[in-house]
Amino acid sequence: MEDWERDDLVKNFIDNIGQATREVQERMVWHLFLCEDELGQRVGDGLGISADDVRHLEPLPKQQLTDEERDRMANLGKNGPRDVEGLTMTHCVPNERVVVER
């Protein structure tokens, strides 16, 4: 993602998750930390929730984590960026900041 896309994503998460109860906010920040530390940190900062605030949360009853996710959960907030080497990242959202001449 471009920096502006990440900034917009974080702002949208904060705005929308911020309307939920504290319990839901904490669960969502926990999930975001499992996805990527930076995303969890930035959204958590916007909501006033840290990795330490959600570290105690367990997976939901029907949620089954992979071994990698369990490792990330054990090191919540200290995992660093995910290794995406060899993956092709794609999206279908146009870059609205680029003017296309027709």
Contact 43, 10 (CB under 8 A): yes
Q: Is 102's pLDDT higher than 70?
A: no
Confidence of residue 86 (pLDDT cuts 50, 70, 90): confident
pLDDT of 48 reads 98
Question: Model pTM?
Answer: 0.79
pLDDT of residue 2: 83
CB 57 within 8 A of CB 27: yes
Q: What are the distances in angstroms from CA 65 to CA 25, 33, 59, 61?
A: 20, 14, 8, 11
Q: What percentage of residues in the chain have a pLDDT greater than 70?
A: 84
Residue 95, pLDDT above cutoff 60: no
For 87-93, what is the mean pLDDT?
A: 62
- Span 12-70, pLDDT tens digits: 999 999 999 999 999 999 999 998 999 999 999 999 999 999 999 999 999 898 898 89
Domain residues of the chain, as ranges?
Answer: 3-74
Helix-, strand-, coil-residue percentages of the chain, each rounded to 5: 50, 0, 50
